[in-house]
Structure 1
Amino acid sequence: MKQLGAITILLLFFSAKAKAQDAQPLTLPEAEKQFLRNNLLLLAQRYHIDADKALADQARKWNNPSFSATLGFGTLDKVQPFNIGSGGQFEGNIDQLILLAGKRNKQVQLAQWNVASSAAAFDELMRTLRLQLRSSYYELYFLKETEKTLREQLSNLQKILDAYREADARGSVAHADVIRLQALQVGIANDYTDLRQQELAASLRLQTLLGSSLPVTPVVAGDVLRQYSLGSYTLQALTDTALANRPDLALANSQLQQANLNYQLQKALAVPDLHVGATYDKNGSYAANFVGLTLGIDLPLWNRNKGNIRSAAGEAKAQDALYRQHQVNVGAEVATALKKIEFLENGSGWPDLQSFNTEYDRLIAEVAANFRKGNISLLQFIDYFNSYSDHVRHTNKFMNDRVLAYEELNYSTGAQLFNTAN
């Protein structure tokens, strides 16, 4: 009795807490809109893209010219600070660095590919978080569907138990039957509290993804299973879709292009750059007010950038191998996701769940009515009751697994293949 009282208090606590917090009802499209608007990880990645775009713009800029001057200070015999007037000396030089071997264009292209990498990283983050969002959304929905049934069972069982206690007080039923019913109630109550813990965890994950201050109640209209159908998709078509749409593959390709460009840039850096400038000398040259053109170039005697070139070449080969391995992984992931769907759809001979559930609901209602009339024994009633609880949990788990399998196929192809609008 003490254990039952503790469970009853716990159930009342969960009910009171649920009522105290207003839940936010959301359809899946509404949840996704809120997710796109409020998720801070997506916002941070958008800022990374903006930062890389700024660097790409910066890479297009020319190097600033440099200017130097020599101001006359007289002679050792006669010091005349800043003597640049009549009879004084002034020399000015301006110099502009001109990058050769296409270095500037390669740096710009490298920066642009960096922007592409950031954009692909954003899409990959979106793909991953969207799967988490939908998984948590449907997990919470099916947990709540199971909770409704268990709550109804507890309510019905409480009514039967109350009637048996009254009958027990009159001596018209065996006290052992009351104990068996109480044990059944304790078992279902424990299942209910475990379910509530799972609900709270799923709700927290969903709330975090949405950036919401309120818990969310999923609103799903119609038969969820009908929103997902494999149709005429083939493995080859799905694989081609994945190779064309997967953002992680686009990111790997971008990193490969960056590695190849960096290799070309490192080879270009071995070519010395040109310095072009002009000089003006007031009185220090062979003629007054001398004007001259200056040209300069580094002599590649000690450093020809060979180490950086070898390193860049090795990195380019590594990225090429990683990209090809990524393509293999994509094909394997698509095939696995498709097999999972085919197994859930055909492999186990699942019944028509909608009609089966209707029949089972009718059956358990008849069992409860016959038990009250004394037409079936307590052991039969308990067996039916436990079987019904297991059926509800297993059915909702199967439906959740099936939806998740389709969402994993969406994830593995990088495309939204199925209509999930409510």
Structure 2
Amino acid sequence: MTDSIGLRRRHKALPGLTPAAWMLMAVPLAAAAAQAQTAPPFAQLYRDTQTAPRQVELDAQVDRAEGLALQARARPNPTFSVTTENVAGQTPYRGFDRSENTLQLNQPIEIGGKRSSRIAAGLAEVDAAVARTRDARLAYAYDLALAYGAAEIADRRIALAEDEVEKAGGDMRAALALVEAGKEARLRGLQAETEVNALQAVVETARAERIGAFARLAALAGQASGFDRLAEPLLGRLEAKGGYGPVDPMQTSPYLAAKAEQEAAERRLAAARRQAVPDVTVSVGVRRLEVDRANAVIAGISVPLPLFDRNRGNVNAAEADLRAAQARDTATLLNVQAEIAASLALNEAADLRVAAADRTLQTAEETYRLARLAYEAGKSPLLELLAARHGLGVARGVVLDSAAARLEARARLARLQGTTITGEPVQ
């Protein structure tokens, strides 16, 4: 609908183009409209974005951690060896008559709790990846809500800009009528025409911004075909509430992610310390003694001497990682507490701002109505009418800005509460 209105208005603005030329220009617009889709309501859109690139990347991070945890359970592989001795030498070892052939199996055995500590570290990494993924999903829901709201605001800005053009056109016609009647100078008519042209440029800018807003929403949702309209407005669902909160800072996703990372760092440190314990290798095999025509069992055990490598460097690195994780845990808790306080205050202020903007709009609309009546009756100059209409446009912009501010405040609070902006829990 918006594109067809804009096409008709551009046709009026450029009368020199023939109908055939306008048909040629309309073909790509129609093709683009046919490919675009209607964005579903926000809650459904979020559920449909499980295959969006950002969501797939998050799933891959958890799968990676689970793969490493699975690998941590693996035991050392045995070594199978075959050796031949006392052959291809000088007499009497020139042939194979005096050879000794050994078939041997060597099995490294981890001691000191290495495997159990490695498994515990792997499971802790999975928990940390899940916690980080949930926090990232909430961040994605926040970004998606802002993009959805931005698309809706872009639509509303076009509607406001077109209404401004319509009102300015009415004022221009009234001014031109007074000019023709000799009650206004020609300068006033030119001023009114200039105002209309300037507002028409605002409309075109709003249309361009709308294209960008819908393109960003489609990209974030992982939709290659794009969106051209919204199935349900989001701003209208954000009504004022009596109070917000409370929000437990220790149950927020950023803190839970930081806590899980600290626990994973503790497990990695424990695994690094146990890694310094030497492994034992047990050997068992069979030796064939050709000179005696006999077989014999061989067995052995080997233990490396920890003279040079005691895994000290890895232990130091793991200790540093733990200190950093503990610092991040403390900093995250402080930041979350501050964010909660700020978010609660911003939501209350956003509701008051929206209410004040609505009252300002009502006043501006009445001011413009009275100014229009006074101008048409010849009781006020054109400048007062233009000023009143400009005030009305500013008031409408303030209403949209306050709605956008409330959207962002609600999205921030929802992220801290672990839900989407429409209240669905995020796992």
Structure-1-length-normalised TM-score: 0.82
Cross-structure match for 2:106: 95
Cross-structure match for 2:5: none
Cross-structure match for 2:54: 41
Cross-structure match for 1:185: 196
Cross-structure match for 2:3: none
Structure 1 residues 267-326: Cα deviation after superposition (integer angstroms, max 9, x where no partner): 212211111121211118999311133211112223323333233223322221221111
Instruction: Find the partner of 2:140 among 129, 134, 154.
Output: 129
Secondary structure class of the residue paired with 1:289: strand
Cross-structure match for 1:29: 43
Rounded to whole Å, the distance in 1 between the matches of 2:258 and 2:126 is 13
Give 5+ residue unaligned stretches, structure 2: 1-9
Secondary structure class of the residue paired with 1:61: coil
Question: Does the 8 Å CA contact 1:42/1:122 hold for their aligned counterparts?
Answer: no
Cross-structure match for 1:200: 211
Rounded to whole Å, the distance in 2 between the matches of 1:103 and 1:420 is 42
Instruction: Find the partner of 1:64 among 74, 77, 81.
Output: 77
Matches within 5 A, 1:178-257: 178-212=189-223, 213-221=225-233, 224=235, 227-234=238-245, 237-238=246-247, 240=248, 242-246=249-253, 248-257=254-263
Structure 1 residues 325-375: Cα deviation after superposition (integer angstroms, max 9, x where no partner): 1111111111111121222334x694483x875675576467556655656
Instruction: Find the partner of 1:407 among 404, 408, 411.
Output: 411
Cα distance change on mapping 1:390 and 1:173 into 2, 3 Å: same
Question: Does the 8 Å CA contact 1:272/1:297 hold for their aligned counterparts?
Answer: yes
- Give the letter for the 1:25 counterpart: T
Cα distance change on mapping 1:232 and 1:309 into 2, 3 Å: same
Question: Does the 8 Å CA contact 1:228/1:420 hold for their aligned counterparts?
Answer: no
Higher relative contact order (CA 8 A, sep 6+): 1
- Give the letter for the 1:195 counterpart: A
Q: Which sits farther off after the overlay, 59-68 or 335-344? A: 335-344
Question: Does the 8 Å CA contact 1:228/1:419 hold for their aligned counterparts?
Answer: no
Cross-structure match for 1:77: 91
Match status 1:312 vs 2:323 = no
% same residue: 18
Question: Does the 8 Å CA contact 2:282/2:302 hold for their aligned counterparts?
Answer: yes
Cross-structure match for 1:384: 388
Cα distance change on mapping 1:368 and 1:303 into 2, 3 Å: same
Secondary structure class of the residue paired with 2:103: strand
- Root-mean-square deviation (CA, aligned residues, Å) is 3.6
Structure 1 residues 215-245: Cα deviation after superposition (integer angstroms, max 9, x where no partner): 3423435x935534454444xx31x1x4213
Deviation at 1:99, TM superposition (A): 0.6
Deviation at 1:199, TM superposition (A): 2.8
Structure 1 residues 94-125: Cα deviation after superposition (integer angstroms, max 9, x where no partner): 01111111111111222222222332332232
Rounded to whole Å, the distance in 2 between the matches of 1:323 and 1:8 is 61
- Give the letter for the 2:38 counterpart: P
Deviation at 1:66, TM superposition (A): 0.3
Secondary structure class of the residue paired with 1:101: coil
Question: Does the 8 Å CA contact 1:168/1:178 hold for their aligned counterparts?
Answer: yes
Rounded to whole Å, the distance in 2 between the matches of 1:268 and 1:210 is 46
Cα distance change on mapping 1:146 and 1:301 into 2, 3 Å: closer
Structure 1 residues 136-190: Cα deviation after superposition (integer angstroms, max 9, x where no partner): 2112212321321220221343355356557756766531221120132233234
Cross-structure match for 1:116: 127
- Give the letter for the 1:323 counterpart: D
Rounded to whole Å, the distance in 2 between the matches of 1:390 and 1:220 is 26
Rounded to whole Å, the distance in 1 between the matches of 2:167 and 2:348 is 39
Give 5+ residue unaligned stretches, structure 1: none
Secondary structure class of the residue paired with 2:106: strand
Rounded to whole Å, the distance in 2 between the matches of 1:233 and 1:165 is 54
- Give the letter for the 1:68 counterpart: S
Secondary structure class of the residue paired with 1:21: helix
Question: Does the 8 Å CA contact 1:65/1:94 hold for their aligned counterparts?
Answer: yes
Secondary structure class of the residue paired with 2:91: coil
Rounded to whole Å, the distance in 1 between the matches of 2:206 and 2:79 is 72
Deviation at 1:204, TM superposition (A): 2.8
Cα distance change on mapping 1:316 and 1:80 into 2, 3 Å: same
Cross-structure match for 2:63: 50
Deviation at 1:79, TM superposition (A): 5.8
Question: Does the 8 Å CA contact 2:161/2:206 hold for their aligned counterparts?
Answer: no
Structure 1 residues 384-422: Cα deviation after superposition (integer angstroms, max 9, x where no partner): 21111111111111111112111111223433475489x
